[in-house]
Amino acid sequence: MTASLGFIGTGTITAALVRGLKASSLADTPVVLSPRNADLASALSTGLPGVRVARDNQAVIDEAERVILAVRPQIAEAVLRPLVIGPDTLVISLIAGLRIEAISAWTGARRVCRAVPLPFVEHRRDVVPVFPPEPEALALFDAVGRALPVADLAAFEVYSASSALMGTYFGILETAEAWAVTEGLPHADARTYLASLFGNLGDVLRDSTAPLHDLRVAHSTRGGLNEQVFARFCDARGHAALENGLRSVLDRIRAGR
Ligand SMILES: NC(=O)c1ccc[n+]([C@@H]2O[C@H](COP(=O)([O-])OP(=O)(O)OC[C@H]3O[C@@H](n4cnc5c(N)ncnc54)[C@H](OP(=O)(O)O)[C@@H]3O)[C@@H](O)[C@H]2O)c1
């Protein structure tokens, strides 16, 4: 029987992970959820086989052989300090910026690693950085996409910062959509058009191993419209704004060291 998996924090990322896991080669993994966010915990436990809700957070740890931490960073210390985690339990923390040493000091846990799954785990299409590359955690994330073993904390932090681009991706679409509507397009048509454009570009990216520079050039006719937009974007220091955002997030993550 597959070792059971507990979750402290039943929110967005836990729901995606549990749904992905239950549709994967590890579907027989018994899952134990913390009770807070009762509506979601109840929906998962009634809708999926082998998922139950524990009495409280300590019961999750006592009932599971491996535990995933998925509460928000702001409340992590208050949630974790009262908990006691044995030396054999594997702890996989998804909590952004929280150091392994802090988790061990608060809970007594000795086997701790960190991972950055994104909501795409639900459809088993995510690449998940894992630090340090604990084999059981790698096997878990391989089942919901592909685990990316990371041996170095500094590199793991760069992956964490890079994962914060999701909002900007949609923000670019939102800006383009608002512009197109201002220029007279019906809102629904603008949205349909941009979704097709970006969706197809995503497919091109996924199917290719070419350097990103080459893909940009291949999608920019010399002297053409695409080249012009990117040139204006760079003239307005758009690339510097992006680097600035990533740097600020990396600084925030490293401040938690
Ligand atoms: N979402 C992502 O894409 C993503 C990706 C990678 C990592 N993460 C990390 O994963 C963590 C969770 O993110 P999320 O987006 O899933 O957040 P979320 O949707 O807010 O879920 C967190 C859950 O924790 C619950 N909670 C609050 N206090 C608790 C307590 N004392 N004991 C147990 N559970 C408690 C909340 O319940 P209530 O609703 O009742 O308050 C909430 O449902 C964060 O640290 C985040 O950095 C998220």
Which residue pairs, CB below 8 angstroms and at least 24 apart, start in 236-243? 242/168
Burial of 154 (0-12, 13-18, 19+ CB in 10 A): exposed
pLDDT band of residue 237 (cuts 50, 70, 90) is very high
Averaged pLDDT, 235-241: 96
What is the CB-side half-sphere exposure of residue 193 using CA atoms within 13 A?
A: 11
pLDDT band of residue 195 (cuts 50, 70, 90) is very high
Cα(76) to ligand 1 centroid in Å equals: 10
Atom of ligand 1 nearest to the CA of 166: 3
Mutate to test the pocket of ligand 1, among 7, 8, 10, 13 (most ligand atoms within 8 A of CB): 13
Q: What pLDDT, on the 0 to 100 scale, is given for residue 184?
A: 98
Within 8 A by CB and 6+ apart from 98, the residues are 69, 73, 76, 114, 256
d(C-alpha 193, C-alpha 197), whole Å: 6
Averaged pLDDT, 189-204: 97
Same domain assignment for residues 138 and 169: no
CA-closest residue to ligand 1 atom 17 = 11
The enclosing domain of 180 has a CATH number of: 1.10.3730.10
pLDDT band of residue 79 (cuts 50, 70, 90) is very high
CB of 22 closer than 8 Å to CB of 50: yes
- Residues of the domain holding 50: 5-150
Same domain assignment for residues 115 and 20: yes
Same domain assignment for residues 194 and 249: yes
Tell which of 120, 150, 180 closes a domain: 150
- The pTM score is 0.93
pLDDT band of residue 2 (cuts 50, 70, 90) is confident
pLDDT tens for 39-73 read 999 999 999 999 999 999 999 999 999 999 999 99
What residues form DSSP beta bridges with 6?
32, 67
The enclosing domain of 17 has a CATH number of: 3.40.50.720
For residue 241, is pLDDT > 90? Answer: yes
Same domain assignment for residues 75 and 200: no
Q: What's the number of domains the chain is made of?
A: 2
pLDDT tens for 100-133 read 999 999 999 999 999 999 999 999 999 999 999 9
Same domain assignment for residues 78 and 168: no
Tell which of 150, 184, 218 closes a domain: 150
